[in-house]
Amino acid sequence: MTETADKQTFPPSRAGWTLVTLLMIAYVFSYTDRVILSILVEPIKQDLQLSDVQIGLLLGPAFAIFYATMGLPFGWLADRYRRTWIIGGGFLLWSVATFASGMARNFAQLFTARMSVGVGEATLSPCAMSLIADSFPKERRGKPIAIYSMGIVLGSSVAFLIGAFVLGWTKHAELPELPLLGVLEPWQVVFVAIGAVGILPALPFFMMREPKRMIGQTVDETLQGSNVADVLEYVGRNWKVYASFMTLVCLMITVAYAGYWNPAMFERTFGWSGEKYSLINGIVTLPVGVPVYFAAGWLSDRLTAKGKRMAPLNIMIAGTFIMVPLYALTPLMPDGVSAFVVLTLGGVGIMAITAVSVTALLNITPATIRGQIVALYYMTMSMFGLFVGPTTVGFLSQEVYGEAHLNYALATVPIIFGLIPILLIPVTRRLYQQHMERLEK
């Protein structure tokens, strides 16, 4: 059952925020399973005898291949079928695949397991953004989207704290022999534990009620999202606004995913153990990240309510100017403490962009194709960020600077990928405003 935008009856506030809370919990588990590999780079590399190029492939393409390509089919399903069931099934899949990552004995097995994690996680955001859009009116959408997106910072913090605890514990304890599994390496224990814990929270999604779907807000009355070809044709007709918008998003995600190398960089450059970096990062991420996500969502809603409809995009631009110089400086700092401080400040830019980017996207997207457009958004950013970010760092480290100078490789990425998006900002703002005005007529 659907309703027009003008007559839409949104769920009670409590139901909407309960949904957002459960979606955020799913995102926490999703991001924990995604980022945990970056914490374990050095022990995995040593145990499986891998090169930096192979590690780059595991951090990026292994996950991105299906996370990106399956997003659009799942977005199509999200626009038609029960979204909560799709999320529940994906949640179970990525949890089992994370468990399987702990069973890997070579590069090929770990690569396959990480691909399966990508398939499961591809279900989440297209369905989540569609559900949130049907649960809150436009002028109150910024905060719930920001809080859902806060799952990134919470998941990252959880992953780093778990990694620090397990790596520290295994240094002083004899690992037990597990039934059917035998004796596992410390990095394998991390994957097995996180994957097992993630199965139970998936179950509520099979019992949830969904909000009514909203139909309306489209500049093309023939566009009803009947198939993927219609959506791609719409994007093709409006490619300039979507392409320019995505330059900022792809820059952000490339820099963010290049940061998967940070634990290894801090170890090689500043002598920080994986345990030390994980513990400090896990502790600092929460008190910094949570206020940033809340503030970005609150500011976006506050300015939008005052008639400043460009607010989400302007927050993204401000975040870009924070992120690029600070992430380029981080690996070049003289010691680990100053590097971590600069890294944390640069992370504020990434968090601000992440908190409002989907809100900005929904402002230029017809309601009838939200699920598929959000899926296309995640597909594009993931393919670019995951394929380019970690692999570029791995290539530069191994082939250009040498593995002992991983910090130079990390410092290079924001510079070479930031130039074009920053120069295009005036064009991006103009195209965005024009398209938003067309959509609202």
pLDDT of residue 2: 46
pLDDT at 422 over 80: yes
pLDDT at 180: 66
Tokens coding 131: 């559900």
Asked whether the predicted pLDDT for residue 248 surpasses 70, the reply is yes
| pLDDT at res. 217 | 45
Query: What average pLDDT does the segment 107-115 reach?
Result: 93
**Does residue 250 carry a pLDDT above 90?**
yes
The pLDDT assigned to 432 comes to 95
pLDDT at 177: 67
Query: Given pLDDT bands bounded at 50, 70 and 90, which one contains residue 218?
Result: very low
User: In this predicted structure, what is the pLDDT of residue 3?
Assistant: 47
**Is the model's pLDDT at 277 over the cut of 50?**
yes
Q: What is the mean pLDDT of residues 269-278?
A: 88
pLDDT of residue 318: 97
pTM for this prediction: 0.75
Give the pLDDT score at 263. Answer: 87
Residue 102's contacts (CB-CB under 8 Å, 6 or more residues apart) are 184, 187, 188, 189, 190, 191, 192, 195
pLDDT at 240: 94
Whole-angstrom distance, CA of residue 407 vs CA of residue 180? 41
Residue-level pLDDT at 4: 45
10-206+218-439, which class in CATH? mainly alpha
Contact of 129 with 146, CB cutoff 8 Å = no
Of 107-116, 164-173, 180-189, 357-366, the one with minimum mean pLDDT is 164-173
- In the chain, pLDDT over 90 holds for what percent of residues? 38
Answer yes or no: is pLDDT of 407 > 60.
yes
Evaluate if residue 6 carries a pLDDT over 50. Answer: no
Strand bridging mode 182-183 / 177-178: antiparallel
**126 has pLDDT over 50:** yes
SS (H, E, C) the chain: CEEECCCCCCCCHHHHHHHHHHHHHHHHHHHHHHHHHHHCHHHHHHHHCCCHHHHHHHHCHHHHHHHHHCHHHHHHHHCCCCHHHHHHHHHHHHHHHHHHHCCCCCHHHHHHHHHHHHHHHCCHHHHHHHHHHCCCCHHHCHHHHHHHHCHHHHHHHHHHHHHHHHHHHHHHCCCCEECCCEECCHHHHHHHHHHHHCCHHHHHHHCCCCCCEEECCCCCCCCCCCCHHHHHHHHHHCHHHHHHHHHHHHHHHHHHHHHHHHHHHHHHHHCCCHHHHHHHHHHHHHHHHHHHHHHHHHHHHHHHHCCCCCHHHHHHHHHHHHHHHHHHHHHHCCCHHHHHHHHHHHHHHHHHHHHHHHHHHHCCCCHHHHHHHHHHHHHHHHHHHHHHHHHHHHHHHHHHHCHHHHHHHHHHHHHHHHHHHHHCHHHHHHHHHHHHHHHCC
The residue with greater pLDDT, 367 or 137, is 137
Lowest mean pLDDT of 24-33, 170-179, 320-329, name the range.
170-179
Residues 250, 127: Cα–Cα separation, whole Å: 21
Tell me the pLDDT band of 221, cut-offs 50, 70 and 90: very low
Q: What is the pLDDT of residue 214?
A: 66
178 φ/ψ angles, rounded to the nearest 5 degrees: -90, 145
Scanning the structure block, which residue is given the tokens 């994007």?
235
Average pLDDT, the chain: 85
pLDDT band at 208 (very low <50, low <70, confident <90, very high): confident
State yes or no: pLDDT of 5 exceeds 50.
no
